[in-house]
């Protein structure tokens, strides 16, 4: 069994009780992964400030998030995909990139314009991806138009972004902010940083953008968590609308990605779900938030993972695919009329949940 332990960096951050529970839950998993293989790689398309692009999405296996080793976020089971020992060599990281490039050349007609690299942690944390690997990866993708790199806000700085923009690659940093409300981020998600840290990271990106001049753009993509544990459906919706509005107001943040919570193994959310204390959000809630925020000054997208299943965002099963399709269409076209074409009897149940669910009786429905 692996034993997650907090290191000095993480001590004193987050809620002790949450961290203790999460450490215990995570220690139950037993898995190890080959550091020469990426966790996952696939081709898809995504909306960017310069239009919809073909994209190569890579989940690099970097040894996992240091915050997860301290206990970490209540909904996140991604550390189960990382490597024992906690660090991956330069050579192994570059092997992973080669595997991804091979996957692309075998499955796509031409190289993707957009590259997205997630690490289940922070690409810009040099304990996960050292400076040498970061620069070599920038060079590898120098001929692409745009790159998205996942990072916690603490590790975002203008020089690291400059490693990419110097090649003329438009660079976005994807930050798992989860919510703009510090209380919800700390107490429900157990994520240790504040909205102010997110604003600082946006300022770093804005500076990198100015330094890159006309050669390249740099900006922030905020990832928000729709329905963290302990919130009712209506509280989650209200918090999400407010969060999207606050993010869009921050200079440097041009895109918001709303991720409906799904129940991952080895998490506190999984324990709550198992004990009838958590239901993932309704897809109606996701659609409602997108409609309500359609006219704000940022791109808002959502790609619900595991939609229609009991452990993922869902409605009544009958309408899940239809509503999911409308949500994805909205992401590409930003046109709220896509939701006018979907309706289902279960909307009434959702409206009742929005009205009647309280923290003491949640979840009101399955
Ligand atoms: S959500 Fe991100 S910060 Fe939180 S434990 Fe998972 S990988 Fe780490
Ligand atoms: Zn339905």
Is 100 touching ligand 1 by the criterion CB < 6 Å?
A: no
The predicted pLDDT at position 184 comes to 97
pLDDT along the chain (366 residues), means of 10: 53 77 79 84 90 94 81 81 69 97 96 94 92 98 97 95 98 98 97 96 97 96 98 98 98 96 95 96 98 95 93 97 96 92 96 95 89
Tokens of 81: 């995909």
Is the C-beta atom of 121 inside 6 A of ligand 1? yes
| Nearest Cα to Cα of residue 312 among 281, 286, 288, 342 | 281
Helix (H, G, I), strand (E, B) or coil at 172: strand
| Residue 336, number of CB atoms within 10 A of its CB | 16
List the domain boundaries for the chain: 21-356
What are phi and psi for residue 300, nearest 5 degrees? -120, 125
Whether residue 78 has its Cβ less than 6 Å from ligand 1: yes
Ligand 2 centroid to residue 326 C-alpha, Å: 13
Q: What is d(CA 79, CA 61) in angstroms, rounded to the nearest whole number? A: 10
Residue 75 has a pLDDT of 95
Identify the residue whose C-alpha is closest to ligand 1 atom 2: 121
Best residue for ligand 1 mutational test, from 59, 63, 65 (most atoms within 8 Å of Cβ): 65
Query: Can you give the pTM of this predicted structure?
Result: 0.90
- For residue 1, what pLDDT is reported? 39
Residues near ion ligand 2 (CB < 5 Å) are 315-316, 318-319, 344, 346
DSSP string spanning 51-83? Answer: EEEEEEEEE--SS--HHHHTS--TT--GGGGS-
Instruction: Return the CATH number of 21-356, one of 3.20.20.70, 3.40.50.300, 3.40.1190.20, 3.60.40.10.
Output: 3.20.20.70
């Amino acid at each position: 069994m692996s034993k997650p332990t907090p290191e000095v960096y993480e001590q004193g951050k987050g809620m002790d009780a949450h961290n203790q529970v999460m450490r215990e839950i995570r220690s139950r998993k037993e898995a190890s992964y080959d550091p020469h293989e990426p966790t996952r790689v696939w081709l898809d398309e995504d909306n960017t400030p310069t239009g919809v692009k073909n994209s190569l999405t890579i989940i690099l296996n970097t040894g996992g998030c240091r915050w997860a080793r301290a206990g970490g976020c209540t909904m996140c089971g991604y550390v189960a995909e990382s490597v024992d020992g906690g660090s991956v060599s330069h050579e192994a990281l570059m092997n992973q990139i080669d595997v991804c490039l091979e996957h692309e050349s075998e499955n796509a007609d031409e190289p993707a314009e957009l590259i997205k690299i997630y690490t289940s942690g922070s690409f810009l944390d040099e304990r996960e991806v050292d400076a040498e690997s970061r620069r070599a990866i920038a060079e590898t993708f120098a001929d692409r138009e745009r790159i998205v790199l996942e990072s916690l806000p603490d590790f975002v700085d203008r020089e690291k972004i400059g490693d990419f923009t110097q090649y003329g690659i438009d660079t976005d940093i994807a930050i798992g902010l989860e919510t703009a409300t510090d209380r919800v981020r700390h107490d429900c998600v157990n994520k240790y940083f504040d909205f102010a840290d997110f604003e600082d990271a946006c300022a770093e990106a804005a500076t990198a953008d100015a330094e890159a001049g006309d050669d390249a753009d740099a900006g922030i993509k905020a990832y928000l968590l729709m329905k963290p544990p302990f919130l009712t459906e209506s509280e989650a919706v209200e918090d999400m609308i407010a969060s999207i509005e606050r993010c869009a107001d921050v200079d440097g943040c041009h895109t918001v990605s709303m991720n409906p919570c799904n129940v991952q193994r080895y998490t506190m959310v999984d324990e709550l779900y198992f004990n009838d204390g958590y239901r993932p959000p309704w897809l109606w809630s996701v659609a409602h938030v997108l409609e309500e925020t359609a006219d704000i000054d940022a791109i808002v997208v959502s790609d619900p993972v595991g939609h229609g299943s009991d452990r993922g965002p869902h409605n009544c099963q009958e309408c899940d695919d239809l509503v999911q399709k409308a949500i994805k269409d909205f992401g590409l076209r930003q046109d709220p009329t896509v939701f006018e074409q979907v309706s289902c009897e279960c909307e009434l149940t959702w409206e009742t949940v929005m009205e009647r669910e309280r923290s003491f009786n949640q979840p009101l429905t399955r």
